[in-house]
């Protein structure tokens, strides 16, 4: 298996620059694996496609407005993407331009709403990279940094999405639209995009149909949208991402197995949490920590029965995960069909439901 086996031609016109409204009006490619049968429906049809008693598992992470624009004391432009909160008021951040910043240098962000100082460049990946340890504090306001980020920070949209928008990459609506309606726990730098399709009305209709819902947390990190650069996927170094699967979710999965119901992963992030916590008998064990799980063809799928997901980047770990679930050739065939049918791809695009 080679990384180039997961490449496909994607015209720029197929990349969704903005979401459809309402959220559940997105198109849904429904594929039954055993029957090799495909239908073209909409996300709003999901209650009729799942069965009473099925357990949907969603990711309740909340995206932090972690992108900040600013200026150095010299007047040069600066951009930060906050990756991880550290002790005190320090953060690990991607900085542009990283090479021009010097340890001890101070700078202001978002017109002085926040101020920062460069501390050091971590060397845990074999040498200096674009990431820095920075210390942040409020500017003129007495508010804490988290509150200032919520007010002044920008949503960390994927680079391909900003590129697709051309001259107008910023949209105030992204502050609400690039969050799931059930987001609860702040910590992600990218949205669990399959969950962006759900509305309160759709969730209510699913519940009315007897389809259950449980929430895990996985804080989506920097590696989510990065293509695999090495030709042998086994040599790819996965970024770690923090997760939580509670005792309540462990019990809900066990109850689903006892009633012979299916576990439905809403998105690849929920999938990775479930499979990271897999136990014999298609069960899970409660836990928390970080995961580097890389699911690719040949891996045994131990927990997930049904997968609801968006259309993913070529050569990405997410495309490999979906291929592990449904088969590489089948998935690439479905992607070609989706392109022929005019489906919209990536974060704000349409969705796919893979049934047994």
In this prediction, residues 223-234 reach a mean pLDDT of: 83
Domain 3-63+174-355 carries which CATH code? 3.40.1780.10
Question: What would the pLDDT profile of 161-189 be if each residue is shown by its tens digit?
Answer: 878 887 676 788 999 999 999 999 999 99
Residue 28 in tokens: 């849904």
pLDDT of residue 127: 42
- Average pLDDT on 112-130 reads 76
Q: How far is CA 261 from CA 112, 128, 270, 289, in A?
A: 54, 49, 18, 28
Give tens-digit pLDDT for 26-45. 999 999 999 999 999 999 99
Name the residue ranges covered by the structural domains of the chain.
Answer: 3-63+174-355, 67-154
Question: Quick one: pLDDT band at residue 131, thresholds 50, 70, 90?
Answer: confident
Return mean pLDDT, the chain: 93
Residue 80 is predicted with a pLDDT of 95
Label residue 140 by pLDDT band (50, 70, 90). low
Q: What is the 3-state secondary structure (H, E, C) of 104-126?
A: CCEEEECCCCEEEEEEECCCCCC
pLDDT at 130 over 90: no
Q: pLDDT tens digits, residue range 60-107?
A: 999 999 999 999 989 999 999 999 899 889 999 999 988 888 999 999
Q: Across-strand partners of 109? A: 70, 114
pLDDT score of 224 = 72
Q: Which residue from 122, 128, 96 is spatially nearest to 109, judged by alpha carbons? A: 96
Cα atoms found within 13 Å of the Cα of residue 297, Cβ hemisphere only:
17
Mean pLDDT over 192-209 rounds to: 98
Backbone angles phi, psi at 130, to 5 degrees: -80, 0
pLDDT of amino acid 142: 58
Confidence of residue 156 (pLDDT cuts 50, 70, 90): very high
- Cα separations in angstroms, 355 against 138, 144, 249, 325: 49, 46, 22, 10
Q: What's the pLDDT score for residue 126? A: 41
Mean pLDDT of the region 207-226? 91
Give the percent of the chain with pLDDT over 70: 96
Asked whether the predicted pLDDT for residue 314 surpasses 60, the reply is yes
CATH of span 67-154: 2.40.10.240
pLDDT reported for residue 222: 80
Environment class of 219 (CB within 10 Å of its CB; exposed 0-12, middle 13-18, buried 19+): buried
């Amino acid at each position: 298996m080679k990384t180039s086996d997961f490449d496909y031609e994607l015209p720029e016109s197929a990349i969704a620059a903005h979401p459809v409204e309402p959220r559940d009006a997105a198109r849904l490619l429904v594929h039954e694996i055993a029957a090799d049968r495909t239908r073209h429906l909409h996300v709003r049809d999901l209650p009729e496609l799942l069965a009473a008693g099925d357990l949907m598992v969603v990711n309740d992470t909340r995206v932090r407005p972690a992108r900040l624009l600013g200026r150095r004391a010299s007047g040069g432009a600066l951009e930060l993407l906050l990756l991880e909160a550290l002790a005190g008021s320090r953060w690990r951040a991607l900085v542009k331009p990283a090479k021009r910043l010097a340890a001890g240098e101070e700078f202001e962000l978002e017109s002085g709403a926040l101020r920062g100082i460069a501390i050091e460049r971590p060397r845990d990946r074999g040498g200096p990279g674009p990431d820095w340890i920075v210390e942040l504090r409020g500017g003129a306001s007495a508010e804490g940094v988290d509150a200032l980020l919520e007010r002044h920070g920008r949503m960390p949209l994927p680079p391909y999405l900003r590129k697709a928008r051309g001259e107008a990459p910023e949209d105030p609506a992204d502050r609400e639209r690039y969050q799931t309606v059930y987001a609860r726990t702040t910590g992600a730098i990218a949205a669990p995009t399959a969950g962006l399709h759900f509305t309160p009305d759709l969730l209510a209709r699913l519940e009315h149909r007897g389809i259950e819902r449980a929430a895990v947390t996985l804080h989506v990190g920097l590696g989510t949208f990065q293509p695999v650069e090495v030709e042998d996927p086994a040599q790819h170094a996965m970024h770690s991402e923090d997760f939580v699967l509670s005792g309540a979710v462990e019990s809900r999965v066990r109850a689903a197995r006892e009633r012979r119901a299916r576990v439905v992963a809403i998105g690849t992030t929920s999938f990775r949490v479930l499979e990271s916590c897999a136990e014999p008998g298609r069960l899970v064990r409660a836990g928390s920590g970080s995961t580097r799980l890389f699911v690719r063809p040949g891996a045994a799928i131990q927990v997930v029965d049904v997968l609801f997901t968006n259309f993913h980047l070529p050569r990405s770990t997410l495309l490999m995960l979906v291929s592990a679930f449904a088969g590489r050739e089948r998935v690439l065939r479905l992607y070609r069909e989706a392109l022929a049918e005019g489906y919209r791809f990536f974060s704000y695009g349409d969705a796919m439901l893979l049934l047994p």
